[in-house]
């Protein structure tokens, strides 16, 4: 038998559920805004925020295992694997087997990947500034601190 939602009876004393005041909805809307700012600032090279995150971590750390990169960028293994496949196809990331552990895949930026990252390096700061622009300095610091507490 198919599932049928039952109407919920709301009594006058029950709080009214307002979607626009719910944290999940607000975070999703903020994420949409952040993605739009990223795309308008960096996206002309067909680069996504997660791809930029990978390039930035590989630039900062040098060669990393795929597993470690996934942890640093907060991506699950399947997402990391698919992202790396796309970056390899664009010759932005190179892979090799770890000589000490053949199961481990090591990643590093190619010259093209490094050039692309460096071309947009300063834009990464611009993205953050534009996202936080509606807030004053104290509000920006508070928001960042609170988000860090949530994660």
Phi, psi of 84 (to 5 degrees): -65, -40
SS3 103: strand
Question: Is 104 inside any structural domain?
Answer: yes
Number of structural domains the chain divides into: 1
Q: Is residue 2 included in any domain, yes or no?
A: no
Task: State residue 114's pLDDT score.
Answer: 97
pLDDT for the residue 12: 63
- For tokens 């949409």, name the residue: 32
Cβ proximity of 92 and 86 under 8 Å? no
Residue 141 in domain: no
What's the pLDDT score for residue 9?
A: 66
97 near 78, Cβ under 8 Å?
no
Report whether 107 contacts 84 (CB < 8 A): yes
**Residue 123, domain member (yes or no):** yes
Helices in 1-151 by DSSP H: which ranges? Answer: 23-41, 49-61, 66-72, 77-89, 111-132, 137-150
**Cα–Cα distance for residue pair 110/98, rounded to 1 Å:** 17
The predicted pLDDT at position 2 comes to 67
CATH code, domain carrying 44: 1.10.10.10
**Residue 88 domain-assigned?**
yes
pTM score, two decimals? 0.83
Instruction: For residues 126 and 123, give the distance between their C-alpha atoms in angstroms, rounded to a whole number.
Output: 5
Q: Is residue 51 part of a domain?
A: yes
Domain that residue 23 falls in = 19-130
Structure tokens, 85: 């496949």
Q: What is the pLDDT along the chain (151 residues), one digit of tens a residue?
A: 667 777 666 666 678 899 999 999 999 999 999 999 999 999 888 999 999 999 999 999 999 999 999 999 999 999 999 999 999 999 999 999 999 888 899 999 999 999 999 999 999 999 999 999 999 999 999 999 999 999 9
């Amino acid at each position: 038998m198919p599932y049928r939602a039952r109407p919920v009876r709301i009594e006058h004393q029950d709080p009214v559920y307002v979607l626009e005041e719910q944290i999940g909805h607000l975070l999703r809307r903020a994420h949409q805004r952040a993605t739009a700012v990223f795309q308008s600032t960096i996206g002309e090279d067909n680069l996504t925020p997660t791809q930029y995150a990978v390039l930035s971590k590989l630039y900062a750390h040098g060669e990393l295992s795929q597993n470690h990169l996934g942890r640093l960028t907060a991506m699950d293994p399947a997402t990391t694997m698919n992202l790396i496949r796309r970056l390899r196809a664009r010759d932005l990331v190179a892979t090799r087997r770890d000589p000490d552990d053949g199961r481990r895949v090591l990643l590093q930026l190619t010259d093209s990947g490094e050039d692309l990252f460096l071309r947009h390096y300063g834009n990464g700061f611009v993205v953050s500034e534009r996202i936080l622009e509606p807030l004053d300095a104290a509000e920006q610091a508070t928001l960042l601190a609170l988000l860090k507490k949530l994660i």
